[in-house]
Amino acid sequence: MMQSRTHTCGELRLCDAGKSVTITGWLENVREVGANFAFAVLRDFYGTTQVVIETEDMMRLFKPLNKETTLSVTGLVRERESKNPKLPTGEIEVVPQKIEVLGKCIHNQLPFEINKSREADENTRLKYRFLDLRNPAVKRNIILRCQVVAELRRLMTQKGFLEITTPILTASSPEGARDYLVPARNHPGKFYALPQAPQQFKQLLMTSGFDRYFQIAPCFRDEDARADRTPGEFYQLDMEMAFATQNDVLTTLEEVLVPVFEKFGKFRRVSPAPFRRIPFNEAMERYGSDKPDLRIDLEIQDITGEVQGCGFGPFEGAVVKAVAVDNFTQARKWIDKLLADVEVQTGSKACWVKVDENGSLTGGVSKFLTSCQDALTAKLDLKPGSFVCMAAGKKAAAQKTAGVIRTMLGKRVPGHFDEEQYALCWIVDFPMYEIGEESGALEFCHNPFSMPQGGLKALEEAQDNTEKLLAINADQYDLVCNGYESASGAVRNHDPEIMVKAFQMVGLGEEDVKAKFPAMYNAFTYGAPPHAGAAPGVDRLIMLLTGEESIREVITFPMNKNAQDLMMGAPTAVDKSQLDTVHIALVEE
């Protein structure tokens, strides 16, 4: 055995009885049951072993030790009188002949009990993450992460992909999020940027003649945290294929990810390949989201035509969407809570009606819908006991609100949510452009390096017509699993003429493109192959596999919601001399 131990704390079995062994680990607990008799538990990475203290000398050595002190224990293995079938080592114990303190814990009181660390306040857990990680339940997630990453590497290599690392210090470029900037000491006033993704480098590899590339890539984005997104940095399985179509990429990822879900997933059922391919517009119409949770069997219906002229103000001139469920027995208080939660999440009000035992609409806004009851009954297939929740407004807003209603009803009304599975699909045919919520101007909807469907001709025919530009789709696709975007990718725009034209639509001319993407533009003028790729998020993938609700549970040293590393104290102030070295002066507001 390595180091100074003969066995780990998870290794000894009944067949080892009578052996003299040395085990090392952390003192998890000591339970005294007499003047000179106690049971101690020693824990290491591999498990726990019971140590029995039976002499005055040994009790004198153990008694002053605090929990979490690291020890070396040498002694004899013997069969336990009272066995613990729940533990792999539950049939044996070690009677110590010698103990040595390897690392003293000087704290009488720990910030939390190690085996119950997940019950502690999150900021306390993050500040003492080195203790939190001693909890076997926390450690298991990190071990699984290592195993999944190793399996991803194996499968990608097996398919002929080369693992190639790309630079961390690079140039700032518009990728959809804020950059982390690094001052360049030898170039006053200039900055490197940490890459939001290896996007440009992997496309340059394709132009360099590499056929299949991948890496487990660190990405850096100055974004706010969410339950499914960590601030600062994250990792993705970045991949690209030369001379490839959308179908090549989707098929490859299906062949890689399905075995990973089947081998490591908490749930046994996984959508078989090929996954459903749902156009973006269809996803918004049927599910109210481009990240639909297909474990829910409910769909959205458009009832705009059925309710126009009914006299209910919010419906007049609006798009109206509805979600209906049968066998609804919830009380009015439940409905009020649903409507309140929808408004909090969307900023929009929802309304409702029920169908009574006689088949008539009742409750909510039913008095306005009497004249259209027959039309609604036919459209929504209503029956006695049905419940209908509705959203109205501009098309996009009504779709998104109805999407939230669908999710809430699906998860709260019994019988509509088949949770224990991985329901995967591809969302395809994303719009190339959209109107920015903040700018009010035309912007790229997804990835600016995507190929527009119809190529140069589509752009030229639509260039003076915003409505036509918004109707152009891109060869972009997202992988969605259980309501989470799990990968994003596209067939790339490898033609410099089409690239310039695509950026021209959002107000960037040829010189701007050359200035912002000099390497890619220049490389593409030397003959670039058609290429396509994607990037599944590793952190989010692990979160789905473990069934965790927070992505921080699967990251070894995560930041908190405010992008702070409480353990290391980052971000932190630096000395003026360090700022002077990189030619930066701080200006107080």
Domain regions of the chain by residue span: 14-103, 138-277+424-562, 296-417
417 touches 295 (CB < 8 A): yes
Pair of tokens at residue 14: 């009944």
For residue 4, the model assigns a pLDDT of 86
589 falls in which pLDDT band (50, 70, 90)?
confident
User: Which stretches of 419-483 are DSSP H helices?
Assistant: 455-462, 466-470
For residue 578, the model assigns a pLDDT of 94
93 touches 80 (CB < 8 A): yes
Percent of the chain scored above 90 by pLDDT?
90
Give the integer Cα–Cα distance in Å for 203 and 216: 16
**What is the arithmetic mean of pLDDT over 499-516?**
92
25 touches 43 (CB < 8 A): yes
For residue 174, the model assigns a pLDDT of 65
Q: Other CB atoms closer than 10 Å to residue 415's CB: what's the count? A: 10
Give the integer Cα–Cα distance in Å for 479 and 343: 28
36 falls in which pLDDT band (50, 70, 90)?
confident
Q: Look at residue 2 and tell me whether its pLDDT is greater than 60.
A: no
Q: Other CB atoms closer than 10 Å to residue 35's CB: what's the count? A: 8
In Å, what is the CA distance from 153 to each residue of 312, 542, 546?
A: 58, 15, 19
Percent of the chain scored above 70 by pLDDT?
99
**What is the arithmetic mean of pLDDT over 20-28?**
97
What confidence tens digit (pLDDT) does each residue in 369-415 have? Answer: 999 999 999 999 999 999 999 999 999 999 999 999 999 999 999 99
For residue 3, the model assigns a pLDDT of 63
**What is the arithmetic mean of pLDDT over 150-179?**
92
Give the integer Cα–Cα distance in Å for 445 and 527: 27
For residue 31, the model assigns a pLDDT of 93
For residue 41, the model assigns a pLDDT of 97
Q: Look at residue 150 and tell me whether its pLDDT is greater than 70.
A: yes
Provide the 8-state DSSP code for 175.
S
Per residue in 98-120, is it b (16+ CB within 10 Å) or e — as a string? ebeeeeeeeeeeeebebeebeeb
- The chain-wide mean pLDDT, for the chain, equals 95
CATH number 1.10.3210.10 given to 138-277+424-562 = no
CATH homologous superfamily of domain 14-103? Nucleic acid-binding proteins (2.40.50.140)
Pair of tokens at residue 514: 């050359």
Question: Strands 319-325 and 442-444: what pairing?
Answer: unpaired
For residue 588, the model assigns a pLDDT of 83
What confidence tens digit (pLDDT) does each residue in 193-212 have? Answer: 999 999 999 999 999 999 99
What confidence tens digit (pLDDT) does each residue in 322-358 have? Answer: 999 999 999 999 999 999 999 999 999 999 999 999 9
Architecture of domain 296-417: 2-Layer Sandwich (3.30)
Give the integer Cα–Cα distance in Å for 84 and 172: 59
Pair of tokens at residue 168: 């961390």
Label each residue of 554-569 as H, E or C: HCCCCCCCCCCECCCC
175 falls in which pLDDT band (50, 70, 90)?
low
For residue 25, the model assigns a pLDDT of 97
What stretch of H or E contains 377? helix 373-380
> Residue type at 164?
I
Give the integer Cα–Cα distance in Å for 414 and 526: 59
**What is the arithmetic mean of pLDDT over 299-321?**
95
Nearest to 392 by CA among 380, 381, 405: 405
Characterise 212 by phi-psi region: left (phi > 0), alpha (psi -120 to 50), beta (else): beta
Give the integer Cα–Cα distance in Å for 347 and 339: 11
**What is the arithmetic mean of pLDDT over 216-236?**
89
Three-class secondary structure of residue 112 per DSSP? coil
Give the integer Cα–Cα distance in Å for 539 and 553: 10
Q: Look at residue 118 and tell me whether its pLDDT is greater than 50.
A: yes
Longest dimension (CA), the chain: 92
Label each residue of 22-66 as H, E or C: EEEEEEEEEEEEECCEEEEEEEECCEEEEEEECCHHHHHHHCCCC
What confidence tens digit (pLDDT) does each residue in 535-581 have? Answer: 999 999 999 999 999 999 999 999 999 999 999 999 999 999 999 99
The label of the residue with tokens 């692990």 reads: 542
What confidence tens digit (pLDDT) does each residue in 38-56 have? Answer: 999 999 999 999 999 999 9
Give the integer Cα–Cα distance in Å for 369 and 308: 10
Q: What are phi and psi of 352, to 5 degrees?
A: -150, 165
What stretch of H or E contains 504? helix 496-504
For residue 1, the model assigns a pLDDT of 45
State whether the Cα torsion 392-394-400-403 is positive or negative. positive
Q: What is the CA radius of gyration of the chain?
A: 30
Q: Other CB atoms closer than 10 Å to residue 150's CB: what's the count? A: 11
Alpha carbon 200 to its chain centroid, in Å, reads: 23
pTM strictly above 0.85: yes
In Å, what is the CA distance from 355 to each residue of 81, 312, 328?
A: 66, 18, 9
> Residue type at 203?
Q
**What is the arithmetic mean of pLDDT over 517-542?**
96
Nearest to 194 by CA among 212, 220, 175, 218: 220
350 touches 386 (CB < 8 A): no
Contacts of 59 (CB under 8 A, 6+ apart): 35, 36, 37, 38, 53
Which of residues 449 and 73 earns the better pLDDT score? 73
